[in-house]
Amino acid sequence: YDYSFPTNPTRTSERNMLALPQPFGIAVNGVLFDPLAAAWYSATSATGWSMNRADASSGWSVNPLSSLVDLGLDKNGAHVQPSGAYHYHGIPDGLVDEVHRGKHSPLIGWAGDGFPIYLDRGYRIPKKKGSGVRRLRSSFQLKSGLRPDGPGGSYDGTFVEDYEYVAGSGDLDESNGRVQVTPEFPRGAYCYILTRDFPVIPRSFRGALASSFVHTGPDRQPPQGGPPDSGPPRRPPRGTGD
């Protein structure tokens, strides 16, 4: 990968929603944060979901961290594209195993708009270093009641649309971020937070994407690399992948 980010990103007046095939950001170890999955509810599939892009019109996107679909995720909530490109759908536990619970999260990555990414360990008072550290919570909640169409049944987290943003119910905004001071930014900065609850990895940007981070089309995999001893890397067929 070869990415460049602005050193002084600025927030835009409106959120920029994450959409396939755009990844959200990149970790300090070079692995992409890629929370979306190309899987949707399908009324004609025996499993109840499919990776056929025609089913995207159902309006129900599979939550890759739900139990409905087995994407072969490892302990880091990650797996590989058909090309062998490894990417995170969830919290990269292998990257953060050494983080002490009593300490502020270290910087673990950068979003596509240049803002930093942290884990959910932040100061109790966002702009006060000496206020103690606690786990930060998302402001997304499961909807109540029954789904009006599509898969039907109760909202249970199987689909992305099972959740809604409830301002003030957690610590973070609709992009799973907040302005806070950190060890790396003692004067404060807007930061994205990876949370244990939905959405885990943010699903929208508060700034404009860096030009090097803009990808179009399904073939977003790097042109080189792949699994060991696998021969030349394979590009996924168009319309497939996650």
DSSP 64: T
pTM recorded for the entire structure: 0.85
Contacts 24+ apart (CB under 8 A), 233-236: 233/83, 233/84, 234/82, 234/83, 234/84, 235/82, 235/83, 236/81, 236/82, 236/83
Tens digits of pLDDT across the chain (242 residues): 788 888 889 898 889 898 888 889 999 988 999 999 888 999 998 888 888 888 999 999 999 888 777 788 888 888 888 778 899 998 888 777 655 566 889 899 999 999 999 999 999 999 999 899 999 999 999 999 999 999 999 999 999 999 999 999 999 999 999 999 999 999 999 999 999 999 999 999 999 888 887 765 443 433 333 333 333 333 333 333 44
Which of 164, 158, 142, 198 has its CA nearest to residue 42? Answer: 158
Write the secondary structure of the chain as one string of H (helix), E (strand) and C (coil).
Answer: CCCCCCCCCCEEEEEEECCCCCCCEEECCCCEECCCCCCEECCCCCCCEECCHHHHHHCCEECCCCCCCCCCCCCCCEEECCCCCEEECCCCHHHHCCCCCCCCCCEEEEECCCCEEEECEEECCCCCHHHCEEECCCCEEECCCECCCCCCCECCCCEHHHEEECCCCCCCCCCCEEEECCCCCCCCEEEEEECCCCCCCCCEEEECCCHHHCCCCCCCCCCCCCCCCCCCCCCCCCCCCC
